[in-house]
Structure 1
């Protein structure tokens, strides 16, 4: 009789023991899952890891994730303050490019993020360096390293001088994965204040006229011009793509007074605007 009751109790005890072990089994979360390592930059006691979706820098808009590793402990630092300065070295001068601040990634403990827009590069991907400044426990550090920036296959960024004699940088952000549909188009517009400073341009309008040069230069219905969004400082509109292939996104930038700074209407006599971005899918 004793064995009759002992066996069920033993099984119950084993079940709860296994359940408790499972509940206490916490796996390490990979906060850069889905991202590829671009480069590591070592600076004595710390190593900076740079990530994005492709694992490389390209001309145009680059969304970048960063982690700061303590080389002594092997742990990632959660409470640093970071900033950066990309620099292009030309034969007779040097300049920077549009960039964001660096902030902690939403919902992440060890990941920081921001964006850089490289408006040009050399044919062999050379010419750029990246300086990263960071502060840990009220101590400032800085490190500079050479980076490679590859030429994107299509024109996803444009640098132009407007009718106001100011230089602007325009960059395509979305769609990254276009489809045959009305896609949300997202573009960044920046003004060169000096060789190192490129503030966001607010409250302009970017007229959009997408065309397929290889298909009779036809357009598409239901496109809308791009307007400024104060929430994230980018321009948004609707881009209608009716078939796969190569599209030229003809653009016309107008200031807050409606004055055209760059670009022209597409007509039978004028097949393309002098200001455009390219998309192929």
Structure 2
């Protein structure tokens, strides 16, 4: 009862105006729209993304190829997707992505994803290289695109080096717009592929999804007015059949939350993350794990 009383008191003193901060104009994007079109060899390659925009972080994508025939339909047997970031010095890097796209016959498109690690800037621009096979011939096209900053903090990401000296990326996928309830939390975890074998295009295998890891989850409200309190009924993130990491986060109120993680590899060894103290700390900023992602809703 004492702790509850302190919590109520702390939540009423010097409380952040979360309603103003979280900006209710942020909406959940569910519709795929054209984000880029590339014309090559008589074919039109249409790349679609949610809201018709490429954002920093995780992006599901769809690809459609038309042209080259009397009815406008192209008989494409396979397609690849390669995001390339060019620095101001001309060097090329890539990011986590699905290189060989999956065909969805019911709607006649190829599907995949891309985790853009940075927004487009003067110091670094993004291009897409698309290749597709048609009638035994491979056609490749490349074009610059624009990647926008991610304004939805519920889709934040983090990059870090683990205790195994490997470079990792964790990208939040869902929910786009959480509710005050138990929310299914979905994330992708990727590792820089230092051991990739030389290929015609090594950028295609620059990052790989990690397999069999666990993300221990401890969500907190770190603001001084919130005392770094947590919530019940959260579930750690484990890998699902699609390769994503799935768990449950229980948001008991709107505001600033920190998703504190401890990441374990498939041998149960801690790769990154620290335990967050259980102390209720009204009046001071809450301690965060060395591996965390801040969100706001």
Contact 1:125-1:148 within 8 A present in 2 as well: no
Encode CA deviations 1:234-269: one digit per residue, 9 max, x unaligned: 111111111122222111111123221111121249
**In the TM superposition, what are the counterparts of 1:65-104 in structure 2 within 5 Å?**
65-70=62-67, 73=70, 75-92=72-89, 93-100=91-98, 101-104=100-103
- Within 2, Cα distance between the matches of 1:57 and 1:122? 10
- Within 1, Cα distance between the matches of 2:105 and 2:227? 45
**TM score, norm. by length of structure 2:** 0.77
**Is the radius of gyration larger for structure 1 or structure 2?**
1
**In the TM superposition, what are the counterparts of 1:187-266 in structure 2 within 5 Å?**
187-194=187-194, 196=203, 197-214=206-223, 215-229=226-240, 231-266=241-276
Is the counterpart of residue 279 in structure 1 residue 280 in structure 2? no
- Within 1, Cα distance between the matches of 2:114 and 2:103? 16
- Within 2, Cα distance between the matches of 1:40 and 1:97? 21
Encode CA deviations 1:115-136: one digit per residue, 9 max, x unaligned: 0111223446951111001111
**TM score, norm. by length of structure 1:** 0.81
Which portions of structure 1, spanning 4 or more consecutive aligned residues, are displaced by more than 3 angstroms?
71-74, 122-126
Unaligned runs of 5+ in 1: 1-32
Unaligned runs of 5+ in 2: 1-29, 195-201
- Within 1, Cα distance between the matches of 2:261 and 2:166? 17
- Within 2, Cα distance between the matches of 1:271 and 1:185? 22
- Within 1, Cα distance between the matches of 2:188 and 2:54? 17
RMSD across aligned positions (CA): 2.2
- SS of 2:268's equivalent in the other structure is coil
Residue 217 of structure 1: how far off its partner (Å): 2.1
